[in-house]
Amino acid sequence: MALDSEYPTELQRAIVLTDGTELRLRPIRPDDAPRLDVVYQHLSQHSAYQRFFTNMKRLPPDWARVHASVDYRRRLALVVERGPAETPELVAVARYEPTDEAEVAEVAFVVVDGYQGRGLGKILLRHLLEAAHARGIRRFRAYVLADNARMLGLLARFTNIVERHVDSGVASLLFERRIDLDLPPP
């Protein structure tokens, strides 16, 4: 997919995890495609299964290229990186994509195992939903394995869940952004 919007530099920022680790959050770029493959390689089998609902030895061909190319409006992904800006290492990705439901975007998150449990999910959730809201998106859908207590808890604590259905072990949640997300201002 070709980029049809200008790169949103206003979404770039430094972030600090609960343990004091400093990282950078920014919109994804097409040149991040190889880094997405590396993110997958650094996920435990459990984390990969919770994100993709299947066991894969590697990502399907072209998956990373397609997911690194967004239009920054209807499709947006935010990445969290560490290391030198010239050769960053991605440690997390949050994204939204259009759905067949009018005015609803599907969201998905993945955090490399070594960065889980350090407040990064909450930071990603806040910034992704704020970016979507600024682009006119008000409702979101997430598909989460019913036993993924960490992600279900995050959404329950920091969004307004409108609908929740469970089918074949997968929870489908329709939710809205909460303004009072418990984080300091960006």
| Domain locations along the chain | 9-177
Residue 88, classified by CB atoms within 10 Å of its CB into exposed (0-12), middle (13-18) or buried (19+), is middle
pLDDT, averaged across the chain: 85
Scan for tokens 């329709």, then name that residue: 174
User: By three-state DSSP, how is residue 26 classified?
Assistant: strand
Read off the pLDDT of residues 70-119 as tens digits, 9 standing for 90 and up. 999 999 999 999 988 888 898 999 999 999 988 899 999 888 888 888 99
Kindly indicate whether the domain formed by 9-177 is annotated with CATH number 1.10.1660.10. no
Instruction: Name the amino acid, one letter, at 38.
Output: V
pLDDT of residue 42: 72
User: By three-state DSSP, how is residue 116 classified?
Assistant: coil
Read off the pLDDT of residues 120-174 as tens digits, 9 standing for 90 and up. 999 999 999 999 999 999 999 999 888 888 889 999 999 999 999 999 988 999 9
Residues facing 96 on adjacent strands: 76, 107
Pick the closest to residue 182 from 163, 143, 154 (CA basis).
Answer: 154
The count of residues in the chain is 186
